Structure 1
Amino acid sequence: MIIGIDLGTTNSLAAIWRDGKAELIPNSLGQMLTPSCVSLDEDGSVLIGQAAKERLQTHPERTAAVFKRFMGSDKIITLGDKKFRPEELSALVLKSLRADAEAYLGEPVTEAIITVPAYFSDAQRKATRNAGELAGLRVERLLNEPTAAALAYGVHNTHSESKFLVFDLGGGTFDVSILELFEGVMEVRASAGDNFLGGEDITKAIVDLFFQRQELNTSLRNDGRLMQRLTAAAEQAKRALSAGEKAEIDIFINERQHTMALGEGDLEQVCAPILKRLRDPVERALRDTNLRTSELDQVVLAGGATRMGLVKRLVTLMFGRFPSCDINPDEVVAMGAAVQAGLKMKDSALNEVVMTDVAPYSLGIDVAVRVSQNQSSSGHFSPIIERNCTVPVSRVKRYFPETDNQAFIQLEIYQGESRMVKDNIRLGELKISLPPNKSVDENAIDVRFTYDVNGLLEVLVKHVETGKTDTLVIQGNGGMMSPEQIQARFKELEKIKLHPRDTLEIRTMLARADRIYQQLRGDIRQWLGQQTTSFEGVLETQDARQIAQAKRRFQEILDSIENDNRIHTDLNDE
């Protein structure tokens, strides 16, 4: 059984293709979205999803979120007394999704299609694949997120011809892809994006505005619990502005109440630099396809942040039409991943669907350029694979050493579009030994880049004169894990116990109560503490009937308190 997984910055979810359609898989709480949060409980077990999200404010030192942004890096995240790499935290989220899928389907799940931002680098893609392996999954395919969204929209329209653009703004990344659908073939024409642009940046802009208007001391930014509370309040204000024209942030800091009104105009002003950054990838993708906005048949929204009014208005102004959001933007990528799983399983309902994708960025090496007989200029980017080539693709270019009798060539590999490598993203380095006592012409090498449908890069170098060919693995990238490290960490992660699914609902309720308790003051705070103690007392009885009644009552209490206008720190995210 192959499942499709949208491994998101803010939320993750899984889906399956069966009975001729994509079907979302609920988690143990009955919800489709699982927050991409991990928390280490005091008993050593790991909480995933909503329970972990509730602990962001109360236990920030033991809880992590937004770690997708660090995939492919050597960043270490500490939770309590344990240290994790970003792909290991992602693996824990994947393990939770896998457990939910197995409980829902009633059979083992060992294979998955996992989506990634179209603009993820080679290192980030490999880190995502590693996360799947650490979760005990065989990753059948890494699928670009906007391509997945397009699949979800286009799978039932395979006989029509259309050109459409997918505008995918999630919690932490932004991608845009232009696709053409004709005679059952879905062809990606161009992709562009920004791996550090999303709803989280809008939230941060609101937080920064709050600090500015309230004239708060910047040292308060070092207070983890306060920053999580303030971020949660900004999140709620952001959501409120998606439904109305005004919102308010109301929070106590050092026994003093701070209130800030926020209107649509305020948000548009503070987000102006972010909105400008959204335009650039769209314009680049249109240029690469030589298309005008009027030639697009449809503009499709994906990603939770596209729910925001200012984002919808920007898209409407850019394209001169209202965008399509027939499928829930939070769910459309997972639905597309399920379609790809169906294609992989060769489901008869998808026999007529063929999909192609492209390399979203140029890949090349650092070279020196001769500017005169005695002078050269170093640090230039020489593309081997140009962006938006249909994948899989393999390209080769011939290069020469700078001097006679050169002992080796140091190949520096880059991703990007700038003329100079200093403005591009370094992927790694390859050291190639050369035969001794050879002239420049005798030491020519052919460098072949092969980029596959998963967006993974292989580099092959052939010495032209000797015919010696070596396939080299990119070294020196601090974000990469070796196969031995993956196996060792797989065994370590196996020892870490995920909180039992059958008690996760109660654990989530208690974490939520703890968060709300810390936000309250006075009599209501004391009363909630008493109610929580009473609920815990019922749990001790292990009487299923009493517990079910107590759960309903306690849930009503929490909902009632949190719906009170005095509470403005809901943790929901775009």
Structure 2
Amino acid sequence: MIIGIDLGTTNSEVCVVRDGKLDVISIDGSPMLPSCVGLSAAGEMLIGQAARNQYAWRPEQTIRSIKRKMGTEDVVALGDKTYRPQEISAMILRELKNRASQALGRDVTQAVITVPAYFNDAQRQATREAGALAGLEVLRILNEPTAAALAYEAAGVSKRRNVLVYDFGGGTFDVSIVTMTGDVVEVRATHGDNHLGGDDIDALLLERALATFQEQHGQRPGTIGESRLRMACEQLKKDLSSQAMASLSEVGIPLENGDTVTFSMDMNRSEFEDITQALIRRTLTSIRHVMTESGLHAGDIDEILLVGGSTRIPAIEELIEREIGKRPRRDVNPDLAVAYGAGVMAARLAGSNDQRILVDISPYTFGTSCLGFVDGEHCQHQFVPIIKSGTPLPARRGKVFYTAIPGQTAVNVRIFQGDNQDARRNVLVGDFMVEDLDEGADQGSEILLNMALDLDGILTATAIEQHTGLNKSVVIEDSLKKVSEADLEQSRSRIAEMFPDVELADGDDDGDVSDADEVHPGDADLLARIDRCREHLDAVDAEDLDRLLEKLREARRASNETAEAQTLEGIEDILFFAEQRT
């Protein structure tokens, strides 16, 4: 038996093929083993979750992210001993080897181990050495993007295609273009950064948390307190990847003088994206580099594959979709894609050619409607996707919206299934009223709309007025069933009753949303502000505003981000002075 191992910066996994099915072996109830090694107070060596748990209290005796040091001459200390990076990695590999042997009921001695495509020879050799120290014969060092491509192939696609693999791991980033033909995976170009990953996003959040901590308590936390905040920031990142708002809250944070304090910090996704925008945009350099090196254009890319837990951040998917003009696939768990691919390669080396991955995804997009732009024009029925088709199930997603005018006390939330940018051309699957909103909200109420879709096709939508906690929900059964013509006709009739101002064609006009007309989260708020300010604009400002709105539409149609940003800045200038007069 040959095993496949994804030796990751943050987590590691081991995969085997059993009965023709790829199986990532569970370790203490999880498919992922934290890539942490520590020394307990009693002098016991800790590996995996136990070491990660200890990090909050004994950071100086816990090693994390050792993958970033592979291939260097650095050493790390645990207790009174020092270790080379490959020795720490060997401890992690040995734990994976032992768990696989226990699960399979026999000793495992051979493995395929994955590495970032951008790893140099010294880093690859250090990985081989780590495998040997762990008692494994390393049959193949496999590039992570190749492994990911093999995993997606095992999920059911086998035709020839050009694939862009975007791998944003815990400590490394690379992007590759591969051409897949049958069992052959040819890497045509690769580029990346061995010191860019989810850890760096955590560091940015930690920097914000430490600054907020300083404001609240007048001093920084001690070493242990900072370690606890670092772990809390990692969870905050995960929460904001699926929720529109999240909180960090820690009790008993120790200070340098020995006192303990309570610390809390709220953050919404907009703030999160502002903090991480520059770091995420750095990945564009690698995307453009591999496109040039491969000689391909955006239209030549057939599929985009996402690898690494950080790719769950919505801004990353949106960035790639704007750049390439295609929505990435999400039918394989990005945390496990590389491990699955390593398992595929291991099985092939063992002589097996029958491997498959079973996945559950949402076949449809679900969302709501709001003020925005449709076909570049102002519209009250812009469709905002919340759970997109291809999202693995169960799924939970959310977005923040605002009431159109101050003093608004009720809002009708409509839930649609479909992909058309005009909500009226999608299928209305449910709606509900949220009443008794705070009429005293100066800028209108901030409303968080959460959607949760489970494996049984039950969709739950919940709207929450943020500052009062007022909430209302609707549960939609069988949301994943195929929509019949009768259902479509009934939906059209309901929509026609709700929106009598526009006659919609009965034809099938449900093309994909283009980049130029894709939903922009701030549009509803922007339009509401424009409507509030128009009566306070003089003729010149009103003319300038209309001209800038037209330029904004043109910039979005052309996917010109620079022109879009400059135009939005001009609009903001006009609104700023108008709002001073309201």
Distance 1:216 1:94, change over 3 A: farther
3-state SS of paired residue (1:247): strand
How far apart in 1 are the matches of 2:134 and 2:188? 33
**1:304-354: CA deviations, max 9, x gaps?**
11112222222222222321111111111000001111121222438xxxx
Change (3 A) 1:275 1:159: closer
Residues 1:185 and 2:191 are matched in the alignment:
no
SS in 2 for 1:299: strand
1:247-286, Cα deviation, whole Å (9 max, x unpaired): 2223445344443221212111211221121111111111
Root mean square deviation of aligned Cα:
2.2
1:100-119 equivalences under 5 Å are 100-119=99-118
Q: Structure 1 residues 127, 216: CA separation in 2 closer, same or farther (over 3 Å shift)?
A: farther
- Gaps in structure 1 of 5+ consecutive residues: 351-574
SS of residue matched to 2:108: coil
Q: What pairs up with 1:213-252 in 2 under 5 angstroms?
A: 213-215=212-214, 223-251=222-250, 252=253
Q: Which residue is equivalent to 2:14?
A: 14
Structure 2 residue 341 is matched with structure 1 residue 342: no
Aligned to 2:302: 297
Partner of 2:283: 278
Deviations 1:149-186, CA, capped at 9 Å, x for gaps: 00111246575121111111111111111111224432
**Equivalent residues in 2 for 1:112-131, closer than 5 Å:** 112-131=111-130
Distance, in Å, in 2 between the alignment partners of 1:159 and 1:51 is: 41
Q: Following TM superposition, by how much is the alpha carbon of 1:63 offset from its aligned partner in structure 2, in angstroms?
A: 1.2
The alpha carbon displacement at 1:193 in A equals: 1.1
1:228-259 C-alpha deviation (Å, 9 max, x unpaired)? 11101211211111121112223445344443
Q: Measure how far apart 1:289 and its partner are.
A: 1.1
Q: Distance in 1 between matches of 2:141 and 2:293?
A: 23
How far 1:216 moved relative to its partner? Answer: 6.1
Is 1:23–2:23 an aligned residue pair? yes
Whether the aligned pair in 2 keeps the contact of 1:158 and 1:183 (CA below 8 Å) is no
Deviations 1:455-487 (A, max 9, x none): xxxxxxxxxxxxxxxxxxxxxxxxxxxxxxxxx
- Aligned amino acid, residue 62 of structure 2: T
For 1:159 and 1:286, how far apart are their aligned partners in 2?
Answer: 23
Contact persistence 1:241–1:309 (CA under 8 A): no
Greater CA drift, 17-26 or 298-307: 17-26
Q: CA deviation at 1:45?
A: 2.7
Contact 1:38 1:52 in 2 (8 A): yes
TM-score for both structures, normalised by structure 1: 0.58
SS in 2 for 1:349: coil
**Equivalent residues in 2 for 1:539-558, closer than 5 Å:** none
Relative distance call for 1:244 and 1:157 in structure 2 (3 A) is closer
- Please name the residue that 2:34 is paired with: 35
Show CA shifts across 1:352-396 (max 9, x none). xxxxxxxxxxxxxxxxxxxxxxxxxxxxxxxxxxxxxxxxxxxxx
Corresponding residue SS for 1:58: coil
Distance 1:295 1:82 in 2: 53
Structure 1 SS opposite 2:236: helix
SS at match of 1:329: coil
Aligned 8 A contact 1:220 1:226 in 2: no
Aligned partners of 2:110 and 2:137 also within 8 Å? yes
In structure 2, what is the Cα distance between the partners aligned to 1:90 and 1:187? 29
Cα distance between partner residues in 1 of 2:205 and 2:150: 34
1:173 aligns to 2:172 (yes or no): yes
By how many angstroms is 1:210 displaced? 2.1
Query: 1:204: which partner in 2?
Result: 203
CA separation in 2, counterparts of 1:109 and 1:319?
42
TM-score (norm 2): 0.57
Evaluate the alpha carbon distance shift between residue 240 and residue 156 of structure 1 in structure 2; reply closer, same or farther with a 3 A threshold. closer
1:262 aligns with 2:292: no
Per the alignment, residue 140 of structure 1 pairs with: 139
Contact 2:114 2:142 in 1 (8 A): yes
- The residue aligned with 1:454 is none
Identify the residue that residue 449 of structure 1 maps to in structure 2. none
1:537 aligns to what?
none
Letter in 2 for 1:150: A
Aligned pairs for 1:40-119 within 5 A: 40-119=39-118
Which amino acid letter does the alignment assign opposite residue 14 of structure 2?
A
Give the Cα–Cα distance (whole angstroms) in 2 for the partners of residues 228 and 162 of structure 1.
Answer: 45
Flag the 1:94–1:217 CA change in 2: closer, same or farther, 3 A.
farther
Q: What pairs with 1:482-493 in structure 2 (closer than 5 Å)?
A: none
Change (3 A) 1:328 1:217: same
Note if contact 2:36-2:64 (Cα within 8 Å) is conserved in structure 1.
yes
Contact 2:240–2:246 at 8 Å: present in 1 too?
yes
- Cα distance in 2, alignment partners of residues 32 and 185 from structure 1: 28
Counterpart code for 2:330: C
Residue of structure 2 equivalent to 1:452:
none
Structure 1 residue identity aligned to 2:7: L
CA 1:44–1:259: 2 relative to 1, 3 Å: closer
Instruction: Say whether the 8 Å CA contact 1:158–1:181 is kept in structure 2.
Output: no
Aligned-partner Cα distance in 1 for 2:219–2:60 = 16
Contact 2:307–2:335 under 8 Å retained in 1 = yes
Contact 1:192 1:285 in 2 (8 A): yes
Between 1 and 2, higher relative CO (CA 8 Å, sep ≥ 6) is seen in 1
The correspondence of residues 395-414 of structure 1 with structure 2, limited to 5 A, is none
Aligned twin of 1:510:
none
Q: Is the 8 A contact 2:40 2:46 kept in 1?
A: yes
Aligned twin of 2:444: none
Quote how far apart the aligned CAs of 1:220 are.
Answer: 7.2
* 59 and 297 in structure 1: CA distance in 2 versus 1, 3 angstrom threshold: same
Q: 1:326 aligns to what SS in structure 2?
A: coil
What residue is the counterpart of 1:314 in the other structure? 319
SS where residue 271 of structure 1 aligns? helix
Letter in structure 2 aligned against 1:107: R
Q: Secondary structure at the match of 2:142?
A: strand
**Structure 2 gap segments, 5+ residues each:** 356-582
Structure 1 CA distance for aligned equivalents of residues 24 and 188 of structure 2: 28
- Determine the C-alpha separation between the residues in 2 that align with 1:220 and 1:85: 36
Partner of 1:373: none
Whole-angstrom CA distance in 2 between matches of 1:217 and 1:194: 36
Residue 150 of structure 1: aligned partner: 149
Residues 213 and 142 of structure 1: is their aligned pair in 2 closer, same or farther, counting only changes over 3 Å? Answer: same
Aligned residue type for 2:166? F
Deviations 1:501-531 (A, max 9, x none): xxxxxxxxxxxxxxxxxxxxxxxxxxxxxxx
Give the aligned partner of residue 326 of structure 1: 331
Change (3 A) 1:91 1:216: farther
Deviates more, 1:212-221 or 1:299-308: 212-221
User: How much has 1:109 moved relative to structure 2?
Assistant: 0.6
Report the equivalent of 2:378: none
1:222 offset after TM fit, Å?
8.8
Distance 1:46 1:6 in 2: 22
Give the number of equivalent residue pairs.
349
